[in-house]
Amino acid sequence: MDGTISNVAAGSLAEELELAAGDKILAVNGHKITDIIDLSFQLAEEEIELLIEHADGEREIIAFEKDIDEELGAEFSTAVFDGVRRCKNHCVFCFVDMIAPNMRKTLSVKDDDYRLSFLFGNFITLTNLTAKDFRRIKNFHLSPLFVSIHAMNPELRAKILRTPLGAKINTQLNELERAGVEYHTQVVLCKDLNDGAELDFTIAEIFKRRPHALSLAIVPVGVTRHRRDKFELKQFDKVSAAKVIEQVEIFQKKSRAESGRTFVYLGDEFYFIAEKDFPPAEFYDGFPQIENGIGMTRNFIDEFRNAEEISPADKNFSIDVVCGTSIAKIFSRLTAEMPNVRILPVVNKFFGERVNVSGLLTGGDIIDALKTFGGTRDAILIPSTALKSGEEIFLDDVTVDDLRKIFAPAKVLPIHDGAEFKRTLKGSL
């Protein structure tokens, strides 16, 4: 059990109560706290009794009064205090099972926790939800959730998830809908497994579940060189990816005609693989699944093009732009009139060359590529998506500071969006 405070905001109620980093909140008004959702609901009262365990093990009850809408002002080391719900499935395309051995432990955690789905948009399969969980989802109105569908054919879904519980998807979605819960969905698409007629069926079935179903994202399966599973997975090539785009466009046009929304979206990788242009921004309906790689490239391009024009920097100031191989051509087009900019597509040797997105680049591969590229550079721009959230560390535990030491005096700068990319290239370092 863990409700450890990691930070107390200055001037907050928590500071006034003399709470400090390292203190644990065990209970509120006698109610045992299991996560920050629980804590938020319990702290909605005006009269509060906190059971605190200090870092030295001493326990104390702190009683106080507060306004109903007054927040505590404390951050916690984890959002769930009773442990993350682990995934018990063995999906044929599980990416966690494809990472390299001996990587940091957090990368090997397969979560399937409805609370993290509500709080952070993590996708869940619903296979581990109990009747008690559904009641809590209903009572706390934990909506929207993010659900991994993969196939609406029960038998096929059970095969993909490798559990008979996967076949209960219709019953579980019905339960969410009875609870008034909305949800976003996703399909990891595998060639000759859940594509073709099966994909048609899946999309049609999710369409029927609108308005509870808010969106459907379809992303192509990715396979790293570390995969050892004997189940055969086929990846998409240029021809088959284009076929998927054409197939899904039928549903997209139908949805836009009916509701004015596209509803079903394809992962950016499909357009990269098929060498097709990306749809316009309005096609993505506000980008409801951008963190899932849906429309991220279109959004970046538009941010770049719409950013305020500034005077160009000294053309003698050289900049290297690090990126995955898939987006390199787009970066080259965006910087075509900037002779001081070099685009460096990094081949992913760590996970395998077919893994071509910027977000899965490792520090080691970037260092090797920069050394091979050679020449002089005044600045190196790296994709922030390749870094751990909130920290300047890559998947292989190489840090941005490591790059700064190796390539000094060049500045090494993580880039977060298209507008920042443009400003930096133009000289606003």
What's the pTM value of the predicted model, to 2 decimals? 0.90
Residues 141-178 pLDDT 10s:
999 999 999 999 999 999 999 999 999 999 999 999 99
For domain 308-425, the question of CATH label 3.40.50 is answered with yes
The tens digit of pLDDT for each residue in 322-364 reads 999 999 999 999 999 888 899 999 999 999 988 999 999 999 9
User: By percentage, how much of the chain surpasses pLDDT 90?
Assistant: 79
Q: What is the CA radius of gyration of the chain?
A: 24
Q: Closest Cα to residue 111, out of 83, 135, 77?
A: 83
CATH class of 96-301: alpha beta
What's the pLDDT tens digit per position in 233-247?
Answer: 999 999 999 999 999
- Which residue is listed with tokens 């898939």? 326
List the end-to-end C-alpha distance of the chain, in Å, as a whole number.
Answer: 45
CATH architecture for segment(s) 5-76:
Roll (2.30)
- Give the residue range(s) of CATH 2.30.42.10 domains in the chain: 5-76
Q: What is the mean pLDDT of residues 409-416?
A: 94
- Using CB atoms within 10 Å of the CB of residue 30, give its burial: 0 to 12 exposed, 13 to 18 middle, 19+ buried: exposed
Element (H, E) at 156: helix 154-161
CA distance 409 to 412: 9
Q: Per-residue pLDDT tens for 244-268? A: 999 999 999 999 999 999 999 999 9
| Element housing 369 (H / E) | helix 363-373
Distance, CA of 157 to CA of 166 (rounded, Å): 6
Please report the pLDDT score of residue 429 as a whole number: 53
Q: Report the b/e string of 184-211 with b at 16+ CB within 10 A.
A: bbbbbbbbebbbeebbeebbebbbebbe
pLDDT tens for residues 87-100?
999 999 988 888 87
Question: What is the tally of helices (H) and strands (E) in the chain?
Answer: 14, 14
**262-306 confidence digits (pLDDT tens):** 999 999 999 999 999 999 999 999 999 998 989 999 999 999 999
Q: Would you call 285 helix, strand, or coil by DSSP?
A: coil
Residues of the chain with CATH 3.20.20: 96-301
The boundaries of every CATH 3.40.50 domain in the chain are 308-425
Least Cα distance to 148 among 129, 167, 122, 171 occurs for 122
Residues 6+ apart with CB under 8 A from 101: 226
